Structure formats: C-alpha cells, structure tokens
Structure 1
Amino acid sequence: MKHTPWKTAVAAVAGTSLLLGLGACGRSEDKAAGASEGAVTSIDSEPATGDLTVWAMGNEGDLLGDFVEGFKEENPDVNITVTAIPWASAHDKIQTAIAAGTVPDVIQMGTTWMADFADAFAPVPENFDLSDFSAGPLEAGQVNGEQLGVPWYVDSHVLYYRTDIAEQAGWDHAPETLDELKQMAADVKQVDGVENGIYISPSGADSWQGTLWAFFSSGVSLMDDEGNWTLDTPQMHEATEYIDSFFKDGITGTNLDVTPGVSITQFVNGETPIMTGGPTTISQIADQGGDPDSYATAVIPKGESSTSFVGGADFVVMDEAANPDAGWKFIQWMTKPETQVEWYKTATVLPSSQSAWEDETFAGDDKLMVYGEQLKSTQAPPAVPTWAQVSAAGDRIMEQIYKGQLSVDEGLKNLQAEAESIGTGE
C-alpha cells in the first residue's frame, strides 16, 4: 500500500468507518467466536483442494491475484479466486457480507479491525505453528485472548535522522534514550536551515497514535487486564509531558504543517531532520530525491524500553467459510519464510515471519534491518471496536495540551473521562 508515513499502519487500515458497530451484522451474541460446526481444529498435511475465495485490500489485493500462482502450483487441485477490494469500502463490504451470509473463505484483516468482526472469525487451529512470529504481531491478532488472526505482514515505526545534519550538531551516533533524542533534536534545531528539531504532529488525525512509541516506551498500558481504560496514570503523565516538552521548549512548533507527505519533504530538504516512519518511508524519501547516504534509521530510543507501535494485516478464516481447510493451508503457505521474502519483493511490505529476516534481502540492508530489530519489541493499540473514537479524542486533547489550552493533568483527566464514556463496545 502507498501511505503517508504514519498512515502506513493505521489510517488506511482503520478509517472513519471503524466507528461503525458490528451490531446485528455479526452472529448471535450467544454464539462464541469460532463455534461453527465446520471450524477446523487441526490442519492435515494433504494438498489443498476445492474452490477457495480470498479477499485482499488495496495494493495487496491488486498484486495477490498473480502471486497465488505459486500456491496453485503446489496445490494443483485448488481453484483460488482473489478479489481485490479498496480499503475505503472494505469495512462496509465485510460488514454486509457477514450480515448476508456471503463471506469468502479468507480475508485480509487490518489489525485495528480485528475486534470489529471477531464474532465472524474462526479460531486459529491448534496445530498451526505460530512460533515464527514475535509477540507484538501475534497479540495484534488476538481478541479477548483468543488467536483469531495470523500475521501476514507487519508495520512498525523506527527513528529516521539526517546523519549529515546531526554531524553538524555534534552527533555521530543515533540517540539511545528518550532523553538523548530530545537533546539531539534541540541540537539540530540550532543548525542553519533547520526549522523544527523533530517532526511531531501537534494536531490532526492519528497525531496521538503517531507518538505512541514514546508512550509505550515509557511503560504505558492503555488498558488494564480487566479491560478498563488507563489513560490518567503516572506513566501517561510522564509520556505526555515528554512529548509536550518538545513544543514547550521550542524544539518543534505547534504550527507545524501536518499535511500528508510534508514530513518527507521537510526531511529531504533538511527543515526537519528527525522523524519516525514506517518501511515505505524509505521509498518515499527516494521518490523525493533524498540521498540514501544522508540519513540512517535506528530503533526507538529507550525509556523503560524501546517499544514501537505495531500494525499491519492478518489473514483470517471466516467462521462460515465454505472451504476452511484450504483457507488455513493457504495462510500457512503465505506465511512461510520463503513466501514472505518473495511477497516483500512484490509488495514491499515487511514480513511477519522472523526467519524471513535472515534472508539477504533484509540482512544486507542496514535501514531495513532496523525494522527487524524493532519488531522484537512492539505493542498494538487495544483490540476493541471503540479504539478509533478514543484515539480521536486523544488527538483533540493532546493538541489542546500542546497548544497550552489544557494542562497535562486537566487533559488526561478529560481523556480518561471521555474514554470511560465511550466504553469498549463489548
């Protein structure tokens, strides 16, 4: 998919339609997820057979139809049909299909949608080997502790910084801690031509999500184990004050242009030489003429930990799938390390398989390998249907804090109250 830097994992996957409740479009409330009589509890070793239908979204959907020829070669008795669906209409189309009982066997599911449709998914079979996936992507495919999705591709954010400008400011290495990151940003701000030390969106859609790396690295849990929102904790205060300090100390301006794509432009021209970004940021920098030798990537600097956001997409088998056996065998094939490497070459999305990262495609690329390291420590937003609403409240309240309209104490108290009012949709 082609996305703006933060939207890589969130916007195209989440969208405003996430605000819709599944409601009557799911199965009856007294029927647990994965309770269908046709649910597959174990996958055999025989080739897949029969008709198999797969829905995939956006650019992945456009590319998958040809890519699955490899699966057909290994499973000659399967007839697979891939339907490409635009992300903009995908949520409504899935919702309608569930209500009408016309679902495909397999669907590509954005990780932020897992909770929306959880009642309609079959659980992952007991003998599906999940050992090659790291904890963050696996957790993104769970709802209420049950594994419903298998990570297909992953997305996370790492630090990007202009090494040439950092050197002018006296830095010859990446910042290792959150405090060092702030100091580097303050130092590069003094270099001629630099307007903002670091690109942090003060406002706009997903602006709070764009800083979750600082919150997760500061030990923040957005919900507790009982499913209650925890947005007014000491850790939340610490992380909010940390991000707010970039604005209050004049390192980054609250009038920063948040137009999609501007962060890349300002990074390339040197106006804002530090930012965070997903894997497509590398190609976006190249598209704008950026010199690959002028910048480097690094894992998120450490607070209590170095923990970034994780998103991406899972594969799910629908509870009412006509051919769930072939569906799970297809997902097994798509998540094999060798298939994941070839899929990266086709779609340039990061593999969920940890073993795939050992391939020279990744091991030989210093900028990409940082993502492989970062994916060992990631965290996903809560898998609840109302996350988009709570996140939007966070965007608005954080902007009020950054612009001095609310104190951190007032803002987080308001955010906690709004989140409790919104609930979890469960």
Structure 2
Amino acid sequence: MNRSMRVSVAALAVTTFALTAGCGRGDDPAAEEASAAPVATGDVSGDITVWAMGTEGEKLGEFASAFTEENPDVTVDVTAIPWDAAHDKIATAIAADEVPDVSMIGTTWMGEFATSGGLDPTPPDLIDESAFFEGAWGSTEVGGTSYAVPWYVETRVLFVDTALAEQAGVSPTPATWDDLMATSKGMQSAGAQWGITLQAGQTGAWQTFMPFAWQGGAEIMNADQTEFTFDSPEFVKALTYYQSFFTEGVAPKELPDGTLEPDFVAGKIGAFQSGPWHIGILDDTGGEGFLDSVTLAPLPADEKQASFIGGSNLAVFKGSENRDAAWKFVQWLSQPEVQAEWYAETSDLPAVQSAWEEGDLASDPALAVFGEQMTTAMAPPSIPTWEQISNVIDTELEKVCKSGMDPQEAATAIQQQAEAIGTGL
C-alpha cells in the first residue's frame, strides 16, 4: 500500500473504541500521568509477536532476522494486518486482553489506544527522546507521557514544475504565502490550467490545510490540551488564505481521481503538495528523466515554517507476555543504522534524525528537502476523539473552498462541534 493510501485509510478508521472510553477524566485508565517500569537489560529470549500493516507487515519478518542473529534465543513472529482492518483488530485485542507484544500504531490513533490503558509507557532509560524528530516524538505523547516510539515518518513538501515557473519568471521555491500565490498565478499565466492543486474537502483534507494553520501561528488546542482554539484569528487567517486559491480560480474545486499525476506531467498543473511517495509515482508516470524537471521545495512560511507529519509508531502492550524482549526489539529498530537499512528496504523515511546522515538519505537532494521539512513538521494532538474532529474540519473546509462559506463562520462551527465532541480525556 502506498503512502497516500495509508493516510486515507487511517483517516477513515472508525472511532467506536474511542467513544466507549467516555469523556470523564476520572474514568480514564490513562488519565493520571503514567510512569514506565524499568526494562531488564542483558540477554532476552522467547517469542515476540508483532503486528504490522501494509508493506511493513510484508517485509518486517525477514528484516527481523538480523535481530534474531544478535539474539539467538528470540523468535520474532510478524503478522501482516491489512490497514483497513488494523484499527478494529487492535481495539478488539485490547478490550479482550489478547494483545500481541508489539504493534504498529498509526500516529492519529495514539490518543485513543493510550487512554484505553492498553499501551505500555515508553521506558525513558531505554529510548532517547532527543534522537527523534520533535514532531514525530510528539505524536507518541498523551497527557505528558510517551506510549510508543516513532518508527517511520512522512511529511509534505511542494512539487513544482520548474520549466513553468522559469517561463513565468517566478520562483519554484516560494518562501512566503505571498510567494506561493505569485508562483501559482504565474505558472497559470504561463499556460497551466491550474497554478496549484489543494484538497478542497473530503476525507483527509485537514492534512493539506493544517500546515497553513500552523504556518499562520494557529494552535489546535491550548498548552495543556483541555480546550480547543479553532476560532482564533490565526486559524481564520489561514482559512481565508486557503480559500483565496479557490475563489481566485488558481486551484480547482474538483479534480477527477487519477488525473493529478498525468496532468502535472503534461504541464496542466503547476504545483501540488504531497509526500515522498510521489517521487516514485511521478517517476513511473513521467518516465526516465522527468524528475529532473521537478523542483521539490519546503512549504512556505507565514509566521513560521510548518508541515504535517505522519507515519507510524511502534508500541508495546501492557499485556505483553515478553515485555523485556519486546522493548529490546523496538530499541533495535530505532538504531540509526537499522533505520537506514529499513529505508533501503522499504523507502520508509527514518524517524531518527541521525539516520539521515547515511547513504542515499545523506546524498539525495530530493530527500534532503523532506529532511529539512521534517524539522518543522507538526502532528495533531494525541487525543482519543481526533478522528471525529478531523472529519469536522474536512466537512467545514469543503464549505469554505467550494461554497464560499465565510472563514470566521467555518472556524466557529469547527470550534462548537469540537467542544461538543470533547477530547475523550
């Protein structure tokens, strides 16, 4: 499953398990700040059961043979789980106390599963928080406690038609919001049907929009994550700027499925925002040498630089029957050289910063842009109800982009619905 499909499936995940947790802090088994029990050092043995999804589930079993060579008394048993079944399978396993030792956990699921009481807090004496990208580590924290370790990461940058930008006399690496609009309009005047494509609603649109909100200085919640702040002036400013691409006809309100890549290759689209998976897609669509005509650039800044960070974390369950070995396996997967080898195997971008200093990760200029963007990438709050709230953002954003809804009205609607849903904590 490619990276864009992973994001879509995660956004579609049902939230039944989160709803059963309720909104009362007193009923929440993870409401009080948790502390991690020590992990025994030295030799480990026994079986480690692991659940992994998509390509990771297909490849991790063989990859783990290097770990078992170092730990000959350990057997790693990996079960590949389809992404569209993973959420319910994990929720059911926690409820029935029939969990594996380790599982991949989508970043937007962390709040739900951590507050269920099913995840083991991350041992700080075993895992060094500072080794990871800040945004990636933040996705593991719920209520001030980490319940997982970042495994791989994804972020979004701009893909720009270099020739169109040069023909229009505009920068293919727009640094500010004003620059992005100028670059998009310029490429449109140079012959592109659309200067840029931005998601105008539907599932997952919040992932395209939220970087603009963060760039504009908006926050989703207050510092202690007790109140939502969607109706702030900064959030309204970002909605207004995002809307302008559609009201001024620079971005399409509808883009037929499957046309983005061929239209970009044909010069009908000047730019789009996406993740590292699109490097391979464009290489296949455009043919040999096409990527030489594409500029990858960090997303522009307003008050600050920001992008969306996604990916997956590795969590050990409280009900693990082999906790010490499970955490040692997670620690092994977090070593920089192992992360670099895993990238070579799967193209998963490492969550450990120093892994980017090796091999193609250090020398490929396209990957360097993603590495630069990763330092300012941000994650949504790890709360159990985030899937419901992100659906609200998708719905209201579509009204803003397609129907011309007043941005202040949309921000107020998001705020009111988010307050009604609550945090689940």
Q: TM-score w.r.t. structure 1 length?
A: 0.93
Residue 35 of structure 1 and its aligned partner are, at CA, apart by: 9.8
Structure 2 residue 228 is matched with structure 1 residue 229 = yes
| 1:383 alignment partner in structure 2 | 382
| 2:45 alignment partner in structure 1 | 49
Match of residue 216, structure 1, among 211, 214, 217: 214
**Helix, strand or coil for the counterpart of 1:115?**
helix
Q: Could you say if the C-alpha distance between residues 324 and 184 of structure 1 is closer, same or farther in structure 2, counting changes exceeding 3 Å?
A: same
Match of residue 79, structure 1, among 75, 79, 85: 75
Q: Could you say if the C-alpha distance between residues 264 and 47 of structure 1 is closer, same or farther in structure 2, counting changes exceeding 3 Å?
A: farther
1:307-386 equivalence runs, <5 A: 307-386=306-385
Residue 313 of structure 1 and its aligned partner are, at CA, apart by: 0.5
Q: Could you say if the C-alpha distance between residues 33 and 308 of structure 1 is closer, same or farther in structure 2, counting changes exceeding 3 Å?
A: same
Q: Distance in 1 between matches of 2:21 and 2:381?
A: 23
1:27-106 equivalence runs, <5 A: 29=27, 31-32=29-30, 41-106=37-102
Q: Distance in 1 between matches of 2:201 and 2:249?
A: 16
Q: Distance in 1 between matches of 2:173 and 2:179?
A: 9
Percent identity reads 39
Residue 19 of structure 1 and its aligned partner are, at CA, apart by: 5.2
* Structure 2: stretches of 5+ with no match in the other structure: none
**Helix, strand or coil for the counterpart of 2:313?**
strand
Structure 2 residue 159 is matched with structure 1 residue 160 = yes
| 1:273 alignment partner in structure 2 | 270
Residue 24 of structure 1 and its aligned partner are, at CA, apart by: 6.6
Contact (CA 8 Å) 2:51, 2:80: kept in 1 or not? yes
Residue 223 of structure 1 and its aligned partner are, at CA, apart by: 1.0
Q: Could you say if the C-alpha distance between residues 369 and 273 of structure 1 is closer, same or farther in structure 2, counting changes exceeding 3 Å?
A: same
Residue 405 of structure 1 and its aligned partner are, at CA, apart by: 4.5
Q: Could you say if the C-alpha distance between residues 35 and 177 of structure 1 is closer, same or farther in structure 2, counting changes exceeding 3 Å?
A: closer
**Helix, strand or coil for the counterpart of 1:107?**
strand
Q: Could you say if the C-alpha distance between residues 145 and 42 of structure 1 is closer, same or farther in structure 2, counting changes exceeding 3 Å?
A: same
Which of the two has greater helix per residue? Answer: 2
Residue 402 of structure 1 and its aligned partner are, at CA, apart by: 1.9
**Helix, strand or coil for the counterpart of 1:195?**
coil
Q: Distance in 2 between matches of 1:305 and 1:58?
A: 34
Contact (CA 8 Å) 2:33, 2:143: kept in 1 or not? no
Output the aligned Cα RMSD: 2.1
Structure 2 residue 405 is matched with structure 1 residue 406 = yes
Q: Distance in 1 between matches of 2:319 and 2:305?
A: 40
Contact (CA 8 Å) 2:336, 2:354: kept in 1 or not? yes
Q: Distance in 2 between matches of 1:310 and 1:47?
A: 35
| 1:240 alignment partner in structure 2 | 239
Residue 63 of structure 1 and its aligned partner are, at CA, apart by: 0.8
* Number of aligned positions between the proteins: 416
Residue 273 of structure 1 and its aligned partner are, at CA, apart by: 1.8
Q: Distance in 1 between matches of 2:15 and 2:369?
A: 31
| 1:17 alignment partner in structure 2 | 14
**Helix, strand or coil for the counterpart of 2:331?**
helix
Q: Could you say if the C-alpha distance between residues 148 and 34 of structure 1 is closer, same or farther in structure 2, counting changes exceeding 3 Å?
A: farther
* Structure 1: stretches of 5+ with no match in the other structure: none
Q: Distance in 2 between matches of 1:160 and 1:279?
A: 10
Letter aligned with residue 198 of structure 2: I
**Helix, strand or coil for the counterpart of 1:306?**
coil
Q: Distance in 1 between matches of 2:312 and 2:322?
A: 21
Q: Could you say if the C-alpha distance between residues 44 and 17 of structure 1 is closer, same or farther in structure 2, counting changes exceeding 3 Å?
A: same
**Helix, strand or coil for the counterpart of 1:82?**
strand
Q: Distance in 2 between matches of 1:40 and 1:411?
A: 41
